[in-house]
Amino acid sequence: MLEHLLSDADLQTLKELLDKSNNIVLTCHVSPDGDAMGAVLAFSHFLWRHGKTAVPVVPNIFPDFLKWMPGCEQVKVYDKHEQELAPLLSAADLFICLDFNAPDRLLGLQKPFDESKAPKVMVDHHLSPADFCQWAVSRPDMSSTCELLYRILVQLDGLEPMSYEEAVCLYTGMMTDTGCFSYNSNRSEIYHIVGNLLTKGIDKDKIYRNVFFSYSADRFKLLGYMLYVKLQVFPEYCATLMTLLRKEQKLFAHKKGDTEGFVNIPLQIRNTKLSIFLREDTERDCIRVSMRSVDDFPCNRMAAEYFHGGGHLNAAGGELVCSMDEAVEIVRAALKKYAPLLAPAKN
């Protein structure tokens, strides 16, 4: 049995916030991934099961490979429907913030969020949370926000009432945020939770196929291009770099989510400790930075120092407002600075 995360006082406060709220908005970070969508939808299903009016609102569009998730048809995309959502947001009497730790992760949604006088609740597993919520649980030691949320929902309501839909969404978030349990997932509690979710009738193999076996042919052509043409290997730093321009995305009919997972692939190269992926954003004038590492290389530290970002030890990101050539030079400077930590292991 898992130990309780929340004190009796924290649990009571959360229950009171939920009980007295009738117009709840659940949201997550910009460019939602599997953990963000899993958490938003799992908590939404929990609230709907308890008769609450709850609306999931995400800052911008989420990837096609997540649109099979139960409840997705209820999700509102803010940057596509700002005027339509304005009354809903102003009438909210509770905001639930999932998988992000600072309001600036909401982009355009931040303005109505900041202007709202409604109490705010945060459930997140990223480092260094900002102080913007009346009630918050921040646990960077958790594999995912969905793992953290599972433990909170069970403490609120027990495992028995949990619905199939909640279980599917929670498992999806845990699976995607650990690279199918290939990193940040060595704690035995994670598999205890997975076992409990399986009792709800979820098909973990089908969930895997839904997420990873639903790409277009263009996505695979883009992947081939990235590995054959764009991959740079820096053996002296045990690192790799890939870059992707807007014109290249257009060439391969790029859609949201098509590059998901690309940054992980170069880590399969022998002795590689760090993989960096730079992509020109198609919605904003910036370059998105994704980073993955193995062992004890601190992606989050490099992201904070060089890319205005942060994250976890082995998975982090950020963004740069500059040209791609300038971004590549920043990467080179970062690799040089962190060379001692990237040095090949001595036999």
Contact (CB, 8 A) for 59 and 107? yes
CB 334 within 8 A of CB 305: yes
Question: CATH 3.90.1640.10: does it fit domain 8-212?
Answer: yes
- Calpha distance 261→258 (Å, rounded): 9
Whole-number pLDDT of residue 3: 85
| H-state helical runs in the chain | 8-19, 34-49, 82-91, 110-115, 145-157, 164-177, 188-198, 204-212, 217-225, 246-251, 299-306, 324-337, 339-342
Residue 40 near residue 172, CB atoms below 8 Å:
no
What is the dihedral sign for C-alpha 159, 63, 180, 36?
negative
322 vs 331: CA distance, rounded Å = 12
Instruction: Give the C-alpha separation, 184 to 245, whole Å.
Output: 31
Sort 119 into a burial class: Cβ within 10 Å, 0-12 / 13-18 / 19+.
middle
Within 8 A by CB and 6+ apart from 88, the residues are 23, 25, 55, 57, 76
CA angle 34, 228, 208 (to 5 degrees): 25
Any idea where the domains of the chain sit in the sequence? 8-212, 217-342
CATH 3.10.310.30 fits 217-342, yes or no: yes
Contact assessment for residue 198 and residue 204, using Cβ atoms and an 8 Å cutoff: yes
Within a 10 A sphere around the Cβ of 73, how many other Cβ atoms?
7
CA distance 145 to 173: 8
Contact 263, 276 (CB under 8 A): yes
Amino acid 347: pLDDT: 55
Cβ burial 198-218 (10 Å sphere, 16+ → b, else e): eebebeeeebeebbeeebeee
pLDDT of residue 68: 97
Tokens 């609230």 identify what position?
Answer: 47
What is the C-alpha to C-alpha distance for residues 323 and 229, in angstroms, rounded to an integer?
Answer: 20
Q: Closest Cα partner for 306 from 336, 262, 281, 261?
A: 336
Bridge partners of 318? 289
How many other CB atoms are found less than 10 A from the CB of residue 28?
29
Give pLDDT, residue 312.
87
- Judged by DSSP in three states, 82 sits in helix
Which pLDDT score, from 0 to 100, does residue 183 have?
A: 85
Query: What count of residues does the chain have?
Result: 347
Within 13 A of 161's CA, how many CA atoms are on the CB side?
12
pLDDT by 10-residue block (mean), the chain, 347 residues: 90 97 96 96 98 97 95 96 96 97 94 97 94 95 96 97 98 95 92 98 97 93 97 97 97 92 96 97 92 94 95 92 98 98 78
Residue among 32, 43, 184 at smallest CA distance from 109: 32
Which three-class secondary structure state does DSSP give residue 180?
coil
CA–CA distance, 168 with 155 (Å, rounded to integer)? 18
Question: How far apart (Å, rounded) are the C-alpha atoms in residues 210 and 88?
Answer: 31
